[in-house]
Structure 1
Amino acid sequence: MTNERGHVLVVDDVETNRELLARRLRRQGHTVTIAENGIQALELLRSQPFDLVLLDIMMPQMDGFEVLEQLKADSELRYLPVVMISALDDLDSVVRCIELGAEDYLFKPFNPILLQARIRACLEKKRLRDQEQAYLEKLQAEQEKSEKLLLNILPQAIADRLKQGKSTIADSFADVTVLFADIVGFTKLAAQLDPTELINLLNDVFSVFDNLADLHGLEKIKTIGDAYMVVGGLPTPKANHAEAIAEMALDMQDAVSNVKTKTGEAFSIRIGIHTGPVVAGVIGQKKFTYDLWGDTVNIASRMESHGVAGAIQLTTTTFELLRDRYLFQKRGTIFVKDKGEMTTYLLLGKKAED
């Protein structure tokens, strides 16, 4: 048998009964609080923690049945063990108390040894329940942390499918817009900065880009060194994916224009954009990521690598989708590795609304 000690609330309208119970419980090592009626008992229960309630049934204003009913209707108090103590020895009263959620029922005059045993049993059950609840709360917190970490790696829809047991995911999208951004002069910058300062600088810049991707409803795919990749139109199709990418590209330019190294050196990026079909998904068994494949990805990457420092270069395909709402400068025909001659445009800004 355990040697549990607890904080017990004794509720009885008869002073001699209250004092008798209180003395016996204190001798057993319990902390005791007394309530003279049901209303006072509820006020005490909602203002401080208790481990057990010894509740009389026959009380004026609010009897024990009503107090018990209110306790079990309260989400914060419903699991608090209640032992009913009453001179009523009819079976109907016992049944009603049990149906309302009482832990036990003792008749007056009660046997002190039986009372002690019942109290210990109730306190032990409460202790075990409290341990279980603490474990469940800890488990839930860990699950939430794991879920948050997973959603930092994968889109929600993809994570849900993986949790359903799908080991390989590959979806075709007929029309998306892909953006690559790269820091101009990163190799030179890396040679000039302390490694910690360099990482902090990249983290600050890419964190701003992450916020912009969320703002415009886009899906960040990955960072590769100093390169940043984002796409519009997947995993959930998006009708205005090209416009959303254009808005993000312009916002990215504005964001980096305010960034300077500790030495005061200016910071700029080169951006490339292309629109077309891709395959997106998750492959492999370890350290998997959500990625894109297809010619559209390669062309968007070429638009960045063959672009102009501080500018946003895009293909004719994307230009045709945006020409009515944005301002462009035709760069002309350039030679693109593995693609040959391509006509490209530089995105300058958004047209003024009428």
Structure 2
Amino acid sequence: MFLKFEFYDSKMNYINEFTKQITESDLGSISVDYSRPIRRNFTFSLMNKNNEFTWGENSALIWIDKRVKVFTGLKLKNGTIEYVPQGVYILTEPSDSHTIDSKNTVLTGQDKMYLLTDKRGRFKFQTTIEVGANIATTIKMLAGKVGETQFNFDTVTETVPYTLTYEPNDSIYDAVQELAQLARCEIFYDVFGFLRLKKIDLNDFDSQPVTWVYRYGDPNEKFYAGNVRKMDETNLANRIYVLGGSSQTATSSYELVVTETNPLWANSPYTIEKIGDIIYGHNDFKPDPIISNVEDAKFRAKFELMKRLGYSERLTLNIAPNFLHDVYDVIQIEDETNNVTGKYMLESFTLPLKPELMTCECLKYRKLLSNWDFI
């Protein structure tokens, strides 16, 4: 196994690259979780006997103004090394150690959303976004405040429905996230270091192709190492209630109920008649200013029901390291000995630096409706 680092300055101008074969003294992992603002981070403890990774203000490579593209690589049978991109990171809090046993440098990195969060991602002045501004253009403007110039946006025609005002010290990430929700999008950094604005499609999990199949008992299976299947009721709900309007006054609402009185839910194991009335109130049952009409409230209710009714089965999957995965990948797992069969969505995983099992958290894909558009 190999690691390749491509180093860049804060303007993403290329500086140099460094390729390292992993040894037993090298430790670390890459962590990916779609539920975090900063989806990707890494920690690598690397042998530094030749001072390649010594950090400092005058270091050509290791300082907090540097960006690093990380690649993992495997040597193939023909001797070539195949590299897979694993993200673009801001270097944060490096450390060197020299002990009687070893001389190591610990490198840590966060994906570029790091610059939009916490103390680096704060408004310096009061900022007002006027009604009618294109949301995609506005997000680019806000990200530009921290120097971002690389974008990969789906086509977004939605505009800001009401005036938005942000005060000094407010979070830029919170503002960007709010705008993305107004456009029914998610916002994150992809493995190539581009700020990604992606449209939320309620049918996406149905139409998205399977990226990998893990099958127990297949003599050609080289990755699968077992699973733990469990029921998770933490987010389960069969009644969704959404209010839109100002912080004090509701101007729109929508409710979805999984009930046997509706033929859509015939024979569903999740009806309120079978398992009780389990209610989820969006925004803690308070009006959400992002929701300005009934159609927005309906979309949010459908989105929440899909998450809270359709993903009640959680799977911890153990596999040999697979560098090709990303969160939101849809995979197929076949292990009849544990009643596991069908499509699952990768929610998070930890990719180890050394040869050991990779742990993935997956959510069960369940098709509850033939077409969400009929609700």
Q: TM-score, normalised by structure 1?
A: 0.19
Higher strand share: 2
The structure, 1 or 2, with the larger RCO (C-alpha pairs under 8 Å, 6+ apart) is 2
Higher helix share: 1
- Of structures 1 and 2, the larger Rg is shown by 1
